[in-house]
Amino acid sequence: MKKFDFSGIQQLGRALMLPIAVLPAAALLLRFGQDDLLNLAFMASAGAAIFDNLGILFATGIAVGFARENNGAAGLAGVVGYFVIIKGAGALLGVPPDIAADGAAKAAFLAKEASRMSIPVGIVSGLTAGVLYNRFYTVKLPDYLAFFGGRRFVPIVTGFVCLGWAWLFGETWLFLSAGLDSFSKLLSASGEIGLFFYGVLNRLLIITGLHHIVNNVVWFLHGGFTLVQDGVTLVITGDLNRFSRGDPTAGAFMAGFFPVMMFGLPAACLAMYRHALAANRRAVGGLLMSMALTAFLTGITEPVEFAFMFLAPPLYAIHAVLTGCSMVIMDMLGVKLGFGFSAGLIDYVINFSKSTRPLLLLPVGAAYFAVYYILFSVCIRKFNLGTLGRESAAPGGKSDSPPAPQPSFPDFPGPGLLAKDDGKAAHMLRALGGAANLVSVDACATRLRLRVKNNATAIDGKRLRALGAFGFTRPDAQSLQVVLGPSADTMAMQLRKLLDEEGKSATTATPETPADPFAELAGDKKAKAMVLALGGPDNLVSVDACATRLRLKVKNNRDIDEARLRELGAHGIVRPDAGSLQIVLGPVADTVSSDIRSVVQAWKEQKDHQRGRHA
């Protein structure tokens, strides 16, 4: 039986984080602009505008997150698809007969339904645009239509495909809307049972990185809050969205995280510190303190959770159950708390005045601090769990044995280098199996999300931990996630920069290297010939196109073979400066640009493979 491919679901979870990342800014603007804080109406309106247009943000962010190289053309296609579906579906919606003849009432009804379907439409259009980008961004059209080929074709085909979605939404939306209402009522009717299972499931799915998908259902689709704004009736959906817009009934699916993130997990860090081996306490103390403060202030908890998730699975099971219990306790006490990013002190303070019974967090939090500390301490001692600083006291060992030796690498300069991001990235790249092992590098809030050729023998787990990784998971044979904390996105950018530099660096020819750098490559012969006429792949810094011409950045434009370029179809050549070149090709420019990038990328992969063999 064919193994299930997790990559698509993993990609969805990561893509959903891109639009969610703007919510802290929106929440801050909206909250600080309120009457009880700065009383700046324009600031509050700016924050509200972001929440009012979450559908467009989802369409753009998900499309870019799904697209290869996260290309912005996919985001444009997502926006096109969004408007096609929203407006097309609105024209097909069945308007109740009693208001069909009243223009104002009909317009209000359509605006209300459009606001309600905004986020589902955004998700669908973003997914559609991302998938279509990966399928058609290199498409070639006949010469007389070549201007519309390549990436320009993606918004066009997305618009036509989304016509089908518009018809589907228009014909079925009232039934879908009723289904969402039924789901919300069922979720609300489940009360504490539903909250408990949501809390447990949320923590368990962190292991795979799929918790974002579950969160998006309750944070952006659950429930409904009617809001009249500038004379227009809007329907705000989702626990997070409704809380931010002032719904007093919202916050049940967020309040339970505050006792765990602000108090419980810092207590777990204290317990792990107190029960670390005496010789290791100084080494792990600073790390655990940093993780505890991060959880308390910002609500980012993955560094703490991965510190014991695999080293002591029973503790993680306890943590998941306690999270579910916290959701129940806060709901039974009638506490409604919300956040724009996560359940940390910053969000608690900002949203204090708009919360319901927020002071009850303090006694519940104190109780949770004690419960976490006692349970973690008892379990660590009784079952001799190998948490941070107790590696040599794991089951089968002795708690009073000397600390386990730290991994030693001949080329690893030690903690001094780790403060330098460039050096750390270089060692991280080596621990991940080198450039030849990495297919793609992305990041979400706290973890690197990698596609690799080999995530088993090529990955150096000890080196990753020495470089600051709190943990890593392997969802499938070609996927790897490395938990780094808030620095994950910065590390992803540095790794991509190193990969680019690896590809651009010149290599000395060897007997195994063919004289023609394209001899072993498949692809368009014209694109290969054009690359050679441009001085070879080493001479190309960047390749792009604008309407009818290639726009190139080159290392040296004196090595350009103009005669050969004209033979290959160039109508003219412009040299704006020593490092720039523009080649007039007509409407085929975008297609040729895409072909050249594909050829250069294939050449880079060939060189990486050869370097791996020689190493």
Give the catalytic positions in this structure: 444
Residue 155 tokens read as: 């918004």
As a whole number of angstroms, the distance between CA 362 and CA 371 comes to 14
Cβ atoms of 551 and 545 within 8 Å: the answer is yes
In terms of Cα–Cα distance, which of 59, 179, 40 is closest to 118? 59
448 Ramachandran zone, left/alpha/beta (phi>0; psi -120 to 50): beta
Residue 351, both tokens: 């949203």
Q: H or E element: which one contains 542?
A: strand 540-546
Complete edge-to-edge strand list for the sheet that includes strand 471-473:
438-443, 447-452, 479-483, 471-473
Residue 507, phi then psi, degrees to nearest 5: -120, 145
Q: What are phi and psi of 48, to 5 degrees?
A: -65, -35
Structure tokens at 510: 């060897």
Residue 240 corresponds to which tokens in the numbers above?
């997070």
Helices (H) and strands (E) in the chain, counts: 26, 10
Among 166, 173, 81, residue whose Cα is nearest residue 122: 81
Other CB atoms within 10 A of residue 602 CB? 18
Nearest to 449 by CA among 75, 44, 13: 13
Per the CB < 8 A criterion, the answer to whether 262 and 364 are in contact is: no
Torsion sign (Cα): 377, 379, 384, 387: negative
Helix (H, G, I), strand (E, B) or coil at 475: coil
Query: What's the order of all strands across the beta sheet hosting 549-554?
Result: 540-546, 549-554, 580-584, 572-574
Distance, CA of 110 to CA of 169 (rounded, Å) = 13
Three-state SS string over 109-170 comes to HHHHHHHHHHHHHHHHHHHHHHHHHHHHCCCCCCHHHHHHCHHHHHHHHHHHHHHHHHHHHH
Is the Cα torsion angle 410, 415, 419, 421 positive or negative in sign?
A: positive
Burial of 540 (0-12, 13-18, 19+ CB in 10 A): buried
Q: Which amino acid is at 52?
A: D
In whole angstroms, what is the distance from residue 393 CA to residue 149 CA?
A: 62
Q: Which two tokens stand for residue 300?
A: 């980012």
Using CA atoms, how far apart are residues 247 and 51, in angstroms rounded to an integer? 14
What number of CA atoms fall less than 13 Å from residue 170's CA on the CB side?
A: 16
Q: Residues in the chain, how many?
A: 615
d(CA 14, CA 611): 31
Grouping H, G, I as helix, E, B as strand and the rest as coil, residue 331 is helix
**228 Cβ contact partners less than 8 Å away, ≥ 6 residues apart:** 234
